[in-house]
Amino acid sequence: MNARILLIDDHTLFRAGLEDLLKRRGIDVVAAVGSGEEGLPLVKELSPDIVLLDMRMPEMDGHAVLKQIKKQHPKQRVVMLTTSAVERDLIESLRNGAQGYLLKDMEPDDLVAALRDIISGKTIVAGDLSHVLAKVVQGDTLESIEEDDPFSELTPREYEILGLLAEGQTNKVIARNLGISDGTVKLHVKAILRKLKINSRITAAVMAVEHGLKASSRNR
């Protein structure tokens, strides 16, 4: 695929690795930068086929960069490449004009295939989130979609911890598995209970199991 990609991602190691991966598959990475501030001028200067954009970045996050790109260059293809499987992020990205929403843990060949489809004019969403795209296409509102997903307000880390709670793990075990402190886990659990409007971690675990939540489904 003879495609020209502008990569915007604040994680240096990931950015360098992805740039190398794409180049080895014949994709021309015209520039790879670490912030929206650096990337925005390059959109006009380089006219890439696709801007591959991270979601979680300091200063300007992916949503803000996407809005600016679409405001200045309405026809520019922008694809979010993120670790966030939060449905609100996906919905906002599509509403703001993104042509794709891909997850960083996808297989390299799948990523290349998705980029090829997007260049051909398709809108591509990571497989685990394709049901959300269907709802958006059918005209469902953000509010109605969130009613189907009680976990839409959780951050990726909170979602991950909720999945571990559903597996019956204690705070200490969760802390050890994630490489964080017990106190940090407790703070996350409190935030989860508050957002779910419940007061028991057991209730939270039951909700997670009922909705088929898995700890590995929303990693950052």
C-beta pairs of 157-161 under 8 Å, 24+ apart in sequence: 157/188, 157/220, 158/188, 158/191, 158/192, 158/195, 159/85, 159/86, 159/213, 159/217, 159/218, 160/215, 160/218, 160/219, 160/220, 161/185, 161/188, 161/189, 161/192
pLDDT tens across 101-148, in order? Answer: 998 888 889 999 999 999 998 888 887 676 666 665 555 554 555 555
Residues 6+ apart with CB under 8 A from 167: 215
Sign of CA dihedral 127, 130, 132, 136: positive
Q: Reply yes or no on whether the pLDDT at 216 is more than 50.
A: no
Confidence of residue 219 (pLDDT cuts 50, 70, 90): very low
Confidence of residue 218 (pLDDT cuts 50, 70, 90): very low
Topology classification of domain 4-140: Rossmann fold (3.40.50)
What global pTM score does this model have? 0.63
- For residues 119 and 77, the answer to whether their CB atoms sit within 8 Å is yes
- Segment 3-26 shows an average pLDDT of 93
Which pLDDT belongs to residue 1?
57
Query: Could you tell me what percent of the chain has a pLDDT over 90?
Result: 50
| Domains of the chain by residue range | 4-140, 150-218
- For residues 6 and 53, the answer to whether their CB atoms sit within 8 Å is no
Q: Reply yes or no on whether the pLDDT at 210 is more than 80.
A: no
pLDDT tens across 185-203, in order? Answer: 999 999 999 888 888 888 8
Q: What is the mean pLDDT of the chain?
A: 85
Topology classification of domain 150-218: Arc Repressor Mutant, subunit A (1.10.10)
- Segment 32-52 shows an average pLDDT of 96
Q: Reply yes or no on whether the pLDDT at 68 is more than 50.
A: yes
Lowest mean pLDDT among 6-10, 52-56, 87-91, 114-118: 87-91
- For residues 174 and 161, the answer to whether their CB atoms sit within 8 Å is yes
